[in-house]
Amino acid sequence: MDAEQLREHGHKMVDFIADYYKCIETFPVLSQVEPGYLRKLLPDSAPVQPESLQAVLQDVQTKILPGVTHWQSPDYFAYFPSNSSVAGFLGEMLSAGINMVGFSWITSPAATELEMIVLDWLANLLKLPSDFLSNSPGGGAIQGTASEALLVVLLAARDKVLREVGKDGLGRLVVYGSDQTHSSLQKACQIAGIHPENCKLLKTETCNEYALSPESLTDAISHDVASGLIPLFLCATVGTTSSTAVDPLLALGKITKRYGIWFHVDAAYAGSACICPEYRHHLNGIEEADSFNMNCHKWFLTNFDCSALWIKDRNALIQSLSTNPEYLKNKASQGSTVVDYKDWQIPLGRRFRSLKLWMVLRLYGVENLQAYIRNHINLAKHFEDLVAQDPRFQIVATRTFSLVCFRLVPANKNEDYVNKLNRELLDVVNSSGKIFISHTVLSGKYVLRFVVGAPLTEERHVIEAWKLFQETASTLLENS
Ligand code: PLP
C-alpha cells in the first residue's frame, strides 16, 4: 500500500463515482445487455504487466456500466431499495482503508465495541425491549443479509431444542411462516436440515391483507403436536416482500410462548420506518420475540451490506456457532469478558461494517433519518393517489409503507388476459430504460410493485413514472 498512490488514485476514483452519480439519470435504469455480453468485450486472461487506472476506468465506463442495473437511480422502483449515501459510502471507504478482520475482540477491539454501541443506539431508536441490548444476556450483531440472520437464529433455536429432545428429534421439528414469508426461510430450513414438509407456510387471505392469522397458526400447531411433531420456530414479518403485510406480532408471539416456540421477526425492509413514532406501532408485540432483524442496507442509507440482528439469548447462538481452535485462543476470549462475534455468525472473518452505520447515524441524525423515511412514504402515497384517479387501474393491496401494489384492469376481461396485459406493461416500461419496477403474484393476480426508496428520488420522478404507466397502458389497450 503506497499512501501517495492511494491519495492520487483515491481522488480520481471519488471523482469518477461523483460523476457517475451526477449523470446517473442518463443511464437506462435496467441494464439492456444480453447474457454473455461482457466476455466478448474483455480479454481471455489477466494482463501480465500492470495497466493504468485510466485504462481501467475507461473500461468501467464503456464496458461495465452498460451491464449495471442502476439501483441508485432516482427512477429505480423495483424489489426493495438498497440505499447508498455519502455517509454510508464514507463508512465503507474507511472500512476498506482500515481493512481489519474483526472476528474476535482482540483482532480489533474497536470493531466489536463500536458494533455493540451502534446496535444499542439503533435498538433504542426502534424502542426494542431492553433484553436485546448489549448489557443484557442478549445483544445485537451485524450480519451480511437478512437470510444469514434468519439462518443463524434458526440454527440456535434448532440446537436448543435438540439438546432437550436428542438429535433424533430433527425430523420432527416444525418451522412456521406464512405463504408471504420471504424465501430465505425455506433456504434456512434446507440448510438447517428441517424436513421439507415441516417448513409450513400457512395460507394468508386477501381479506386479511396477507397477514398471518393467529388462528391458522394455532390450528397448525395443534395439529402438529397431535401428530407427534415438535413446533420449533416461527418467522413473522413486518413488511412482507410482496405487499408489505404486517403480521400481528403480539398475538403470534403469545402463541409461540404457549408452545415454547422460537419467535423471529423479519423486518428487513420496513424496520427502518419504525424509527418514526407514527410507524413504531408496527413493532408492537416485539417484546415477545426471541430475535429481530432489519436490513440497514435496504432503506436506512447504509451501503450494502449491513443487516442488524438482535437476539435475547446470545448463548443460544454461541452454543450453536462457536469453535475454539488453539490458533485463535487469547487472554481476552479465555477470560469470557469480551464478545467474539465469530461465534454469532457463519463465517469466521468479518468486516468493520459498524463504521458505516455509525457514520449514517452521526452524519444524518435521527430527525433527518425520520424525514427521509417520511418523504419516501409521502411520495408513495402521491403515486397511490395518482393510480386511484385513473379508473383503468386498481390498487391491489393497502399501502402501509412506501410500496404501492397495483395493476391495469380493463373492464370485462378474464384473469388470464389481465395477467398477460400487466406482464406486458411491466416488460414495456422496464425495457424503455426510463424506470425499473418489479412484480409479484397475489391471490393468483399478477401485480406490479412500485417502491419508492432510492435516496435520489424526488416527486418529479414519481410523476414521470406514472405518466409512463399511463401512456404505455393506453398504447397496450389500443393495440389489444
Ligand atoms: N426478508 C424480507 C421481508 C425481504 O424483503 C428480503 C429481501 O428483500 C429478505 C428477507 C432477504 O434479504 P437479504 O437479501 O438481506 O437476505
Structural domains of the chain ordered from first start = 1-30+69-84+373-480 (3.90.1150.170), 100-364 (3.40.640.10)
* 433 CA from centroid of ligand 1 (Å): 25
The CB of 184 under 6 Å from ligand 1? The reply is yes
pLDDT digits (tens, 9 = 90+) for 264-274: 999 999 999 99
Q: What residue has cell string 450480519?
A: 143
Cα(389)–Cα(146) distance, integer angstroms: 37
Instruction: From 354, 321, 333, 334, select the one nearest 107 (Cα to Cα).
Output: 333
Q: What percentage of the chain exceeds 90 in pLDDT?
A: 98
The CB of 147 under 6 Å from ligand 1? The reply is yes
User: Considering the entire predicted model, what is its pTM?
Assistant: 0.97
Query: Which residues, including other chains, have CB under 8 Å from residue 249's CB and lie 6 or more apart?
Result: 236, 238, 265, 283, 284, 285, 286, 288, 289
The CB of 269 under 6 Å from ligand 1? The reply is yes
Q: Give the pLDDT confidence score for residue 166 in this predicted structure.
A: 97
Q: Which helix (H) or strand (E) holds 465?
A: helix 459-479
Q: Give the pLDDT confidence score for residue 436 in this predicted structure.
A: 98
The CB of 241 under 6 Å from ligand 1? The reply is yes
Residue 282 predicted with pLDDT over 90: yes
Q: Give the pLDDT confidence score for residue 479 in this predicted structure.
A: 87
* 241 CA from centroid of ligand 1 (Å): 7
Q: What residue has cell string 397475489?
A: 442
Reported ipTM:
0.98
Cα(469)–Cα(463) distance, integer angstroms: 10
* 147 CA from centroid of ligand 1 (Å): 7
* 109 CA from centroid of ligand 1 (Å): 30
Cell for 348? 469466521
Residue 424 CB neighbours (<10 A): 16
Residue 412's pLDDT band (boundaries 50, 70, 90)?
A: confident
Residue 207's pLDDT band (boundaries 50, 70, 90)?
A: confident
Is 142 within 8 Å of 306 (Cβ atoms)?
yes
The CB of 224 under 6 Å from ligand 1? The reply is no
Q: Give residue 80's identity as a one-letter amino acid code.
A: F
Burial readout 317-349 (b: 16 or more C-beta within 10 A, e: otherwise): bbebbeeeeeeeeeebbeeeebbbbbbbbeeee
Cα 231 to its chain centre, rounded Å, is 26
pLDDT digits (tens, 9 = 90+) for 436-471: 999 999 999 999 999 999 999 999 999 999 999 999
Q: Give the pLDDT confidence score for residue 391 in this predicted structure.
A: 96
Residue 480 predicted with pLDDT over 90: no
pLDDT digits (tens, 9 = 90+) for 395-410: 999 999 999 999 999 9
The CB of 299 under 6 Å from ligand 1? The reply is no
Long-range CB contacts (< 8 A, 24+ apart) of 191-196? 191/151, 192/151, 192/154, 192/155, 192/158, 193/158, 194/154, 194/158, 194/170, 194/232, 195/170, 195/171
Residue 85 predicted with pLDDT over 90: yes
